[in-house]
Amino acid sequence: MEEAREEFVEYYAKNMGGVLGWFKARVYTIERWLYGAHRITGILIVLFMLPHFYSTGWHPGLWGDFILGIIVTFHIANGIRLILAELGFAVGKPLLVKKPSQRPVSLEGSQRYLVALALLLFIVLAVIWAYYALIVQAAT
């Protein structure tokens, strides 16, 4: 009983967000949603690759293929955005003058165009993939 109590207290006293903390995006900006989505898609691709490596002939099925397409195309499109942003492109320059309640340049400056472009690229790639997965594949 005493041990259980200690574990309990440790959990609450540490006050860490935990894995659920990755996805607490509601009150933050779109970049936080993309962070959660990028992580989930990355992990799902790894999970898909396990049976795929075991037997390369394995296939997730017609709709499985479609869903895999959404996951992979999102990861690629957003991954390109992340590579650029994390090399310091499009995050803007540090400010010399701030407004009284300055909003961050890295989020609300040109990086937002990068977000829009990444989402656009995602939709284009996903539609192309879906076309092949659902129509071309199904016909053969």
Partner 1 sequence: MSTEVKEYALPPEVLEETVKASEELWKPIKKVKFRIYKYNPKRDYAPHWEEYELEVSKGMTILDALLEIKGEKDHTLGMRYSCRMGLCGSCAMMINGKQMLACQTRVIEAAGDGDVIELRPLENFPVTRDLATDFSAFFEKHKTVKPWIIRDEEELDNPTGPYKQTIEEYARYYQFTDCIKCGACLSACPTAATDYEYLGPQALAQAYRYLVDSRDDGLDERIAVVDVAHGCWRCHFAGSCSDVCPRGVDPAQGIQLLKGLIIRRKFGFRPHKPTEALPAKIAKKKEQ
Site residues, ligand HEM (CB under 6 A): 38-39, 42-43, 45-46, 49, 75-76, 79-80, 82-83, 86
Distance CA 126, CA 68 (A): 10
Q: How far is the CB of 113 from ligand HEM (least distance, A)?
A: 18
Place of tokens 């390369």: 56
Residue 9 binding: pick among partner 1, ligand HEM, none (C-beta 5-8 Å cut-off by kind): partner 1
- Measuring CA to CA, which residue among 77, 83, 80 is closest to residue 125? 77
Distance CA 74, CA 25 (A): 18
Residue 39 or residue 112: which is nearer to ligand HEM going by CB? 39
Based on the shown chain and the rule CB under 8 A, indicate whether residue 116 belongs to the binding site for partner 1. Answer: no
Using the rule CB under 8 A, which residue among 104, 110, 116, 132 binds partner 1? 104
- Measuring CA to CA, which residue among 109, 111, 110, 104 is closest to residue 81? 111
Using the rule CB under 8 A, which residue among 40, 45, 52, 106 binds partner 1? 106
Binding mask 20-59 toward partner 1 (x if CB under 8 A, else -) reads: xxxxx-xxxx-xx-xxx-xx--------------------
Distance CA 46, CA 37 (A): 14
Distance CA 140, CA 136 (A): 7
Residue 75 binding: pick among partner 1, ligand HEM, none (C-beta 5-8 Å cut-off by kind): ligand HEM
